[in-house]
Chains A and B, each alone.
Chain A
């Protein structure tokens, strides 16, 4: 028995190292292996998963040991397994020390930069999530990218990508977080531009990379600001540098932190999160990132990359908590950005024809929920939403990939190449529907338990306005997901889903293709009024032969459709042309994910009472002031004995005043929901002398069926309403709905506004970049024409006169004389030395050493 820590917890730093090493191996020897390196990627992710599960198990033990959690009952068996005597005697809930280890990486100017691990509930949860999703995605990729041009490189990049996220997740200090963050940025560039032969793809990769870089400046600035603000305090009190996550958390809550430093540091960090997590002004890169292979989109949008920003806020929560005064206000920077993001991206999802872009906007919207939760003090629901969202979003993306792989001939266009696939691909359709319902937040599925909790807690913490925004977002979510489901799996098969091949489309323009041609006409030029939902109308658009061509050329998102897609299809040569169910390697990960989408919610099912709230128990840190000595000693000790020192200050739970040492107080920490917890505790008042806080006392809304019913009704209306609209629009082609966006001016205006993505791309590319570049260019031109030219002309006239005099007197006589003389001298010397330059290396060497020897002899003689 290893005691309260354990091998897996102590050695969690190995988890990112394994895929890191695997990446190097794949690059070096991958091509010579029987499966071209993919087996290394899959094996490394499996090993990471095993270690993560071990760490998660031991973390649960550790929490049970440290506090009175074993009384919670559900995990009594596990808890009884490894309890140490001293810990078991403590009944109150104490802050459980994270398992921190750190090695100095390099030192510079007195500051040391470390690599280490900071393992607590959040890190353990994320480690498991990242390793698990990555493993499934890699298994899926075995089939999906089979026969690809850069198969080995794909697996190398995707393995390094997971390694980057893992490095960041268990980062002990901000430097390590930046390291992981940047590794991910690089790999996202490599993966989004995986098929870089297509210019659209490499443009998308560049856009993703550069947009995220804009935010990354915030990460660097924020880290520096916080370091200089916190370093003195952390060195004195904890003995760690101002980069340390734990140090920053404690500093932020100590009450001694400068408000200004905190605010600017937090704002800068949040700007980084806006870029990475695709929040409102910088979300434009996310949908374009769909240019990458589907497994990449799936990994990027579920557990890695975009979640990194949310994770950073959750990780440094005390900093944001204090900087934005989260408990005291009803509106702040984070929730405003998040609220805007939720609504605008959900609306955008309605006008997308590309199934992956619908999912991309859906991800942006869900990330908005997570940020909203964090911004409004609902830390736990937000983190829980990361957990559940990863499963169902990954499942949705993999389903979309499965559809395009086997059902729609590598097209992602729902209106053109899908429809009615439920009969042909029942398993994919089933998984998709489960995940869709989970995403919409239908009761027993995972999304309900997390999203509803966020909405509940946001209202509970005094952010009522944003609760209604979130409810509206839930309604929109149900709507656009139903639309996507209907277009993909129900109704009449169209295009490739009906068994046609793209080659035929392009060459023959069969009547059935007229519809696609109609859309191509409209969408090829996005600035004109696009025709929404136009059914096959051969009289209007039929025979518009050029339109289909135009669409293939014009829409950069459809990189898969063009001739490249056809090549790829031939390369892995499955010869069945009609839609069919995908092979097992694709279906198994999809089914596993669908299972988790169905059940993951029960890990923190608030609705069923406290015994179900496993996340609250094991993931959320307990906001309890620890003794300074114990806390300060623990991070530096190699922490095998840290657990013993961790559980200090028994008895005072957050319900009571932190100063009351009532050891007999039996108040268990699970007893939540009272308003009185706002009164005091970490994050509300500064810890008393000698105490130290690592996490604010976040409040939890009590679950009420009436509140849940409200959100369920909203979701239900969204689902059913959208379904009927879809049936009317796409199948029955109701006269009042079809073409509505063209007949009705406000609808047309709104549709154009959405179609052009709120003109944000336009704003960035045309307005901002131009408005900065053009005045500079114009100003430079004016300066050039007037100032510089004037000066130059004046100088020229003066210069010509001076020049004449100089030429006659100085140049001809003095200079020429000197030049000629030196030329003659150089020529003479050159001729004299020419024999030395024989071109023979040996001779040069001999001269070199001979000269050195002569000088050495001279030196010796002079010195002696």
Chain B
């Protein structure tokens, strides 16, 4: 079935995203990986929307895109501030929150 391709692609993207979040040390790359995860979810939604034959999934996808934009805005601003304070955005160094 045609929609299966959506889910396969989404699954691959999701895995890449998860790998990026776990393995990357650069904060910007982690943010990009988060975007990948979000977009794989969007693809899923669109695929289900296709199967169900209504546009609910599209609405959700658009909503997620809007929220993701805001999230990236905040995330990048935080990265900027971190960089200004520490001259580095390596996440390994950011362990002040250690419990």
Contacts and interface: CB of A to CB of B under 8 A. Distances in A.
Interface of A: 830, 833-834, 836-842, 845-846, 849
Contacts of B21: 842, 845-846, 849
B33 to A, nearest CB: 9
26 contacts: A830-B99, A833-B99, A834-B99, A836-B99, A837-B97, A837-B99, A838-B98, A839-B94, A839-B95, A839-B98, A839-B99, A840-B91, A840-B94, A840-B95, A841-B94, A842-B21, A842-B23, A842-B30, A842-B91, A842-B92, A845-B21, A845-B30, A846-B21, A846-B22, A849-B21, A849-B22
A849 B19 CA distance: 10
Q: List the 8 closest A-B pairs by CB distance, nearest first.
A: A837-B99, A839-B95, A839-B98, A845-B21, A839-B97, A846-B22, A841-B91, A849-B18
Contacts of A841: 27, 30, 91, 94
Nearest to A833: B99
Nearest to B27: A841
Given A840-B91, A845-B30, A849-B22, 6 more contacts: A837-B97, A839-B98, A845-B18, A845-B21, A846-B22, A849-B18
Interface of B: 18, 21-25, 27, 30, 91-92, 94-99
A798 B24 CA distance: 64
Which of A830, A837, A839 is the most central at the interface, judged by chain B CB atoms within 10 Å of its CB? A839
Contacts of B22: 842, 845-846, 849
Contacts of A845: 18, 21-22, 30
Nearest to B30: A841
Nearest to B18: A849
A648 to B, nearest CB: 44
B91 to A, nearest CB: 5
B25 A842 contact: yes
A837 B95 CA distance: 9
Contacts of B27: 841
A667 B65 CA distance: 66
Contacts of B23: 842
B94 A837 contact: no
B61 to A, nearest CB: 21
Contacts of B96: 839
B24 A842 contact: yes
Contacts of A839: 94-99
A754 B52 CA distance: 76
B98 to A, nearest CB: 3
A116 B6 CA distance: 43
A39 to B, nearest CB: 33
A101 to B, nearest CB: 29
A63 B87 CA distance: 73
B46 to A, nearest CB: 21
B35 to A, nearest CB: 14
B59 to A, nearest CB: 16
A228 B27 CA distance: 56
A839 B94 CA distance: 7
Nearest to B91: A841
B91 A837 contact: no
A833 B99 CA distance: 9
